[in-house]
Structure 1
Amino acid sequence: MPESRSRKKATYTPPPQKAAAKPNPRWWVPVMLGLMLLGLAWIVVFYIGRSVSGSSLPIPLFDTWNLAVGAVLIIAGFAMTTRWR
């Protein structure tokens, strides 16, 4: 019976090393948390101001857009968490 040919395997070459990720600046985490807390406080002040005084605090001109401002601040904080190392 004929003998099958053996396969020649190439020598293992490891993948190239990736450069180490740079750490974030020192201000990153405080700004990230600050944005999330500021957005939360903005929405809380809006609801409390609306129920207590009947006005739309924190900025009366924005009316219900104050919710959008608070949500954008919170989303910006959460977006920063994706880049946190």
Structure 2
Amino acid sequence: MCLGIPGQITEITDSEKLLAKVDVSGIKREINIACIIDDAHPPEKCVGDWVLVHVGFAMSRIDEDEAARTLQILEELGEVEEELSAMKNSA
């Protein structure tokens, strides 16, 4: 099952292609941030944002509390390890 999993954007790797590095429970991956930017929130303002990551895209911005709650629920459901494994294997 593919779920949106919380991660924090740590750097913008290519602002023209809208790519950023995200840290998802210690796993760092490059993702596309096109879905979360606009004139009020350009790429350079995304560093530090918590986002829901799904199939290589940041689908929405969330706050840190929501990220923690979501990770806790996913851990309780046993879904976090499956998603993290999928992220590691798709590198």
Whether TM exceeds 0.5 here: the answer is no
Q: Which has the larger radius of gyration?
A: 1
**Higher relative helix content:** 1
Q: TM-score, normalised by structure 2?
A: 0.27
Question: Which has the bigger relative contact order, CA under 8 A and spacing at least 6?
Answer: 1
**Higher relative strand content:** 2
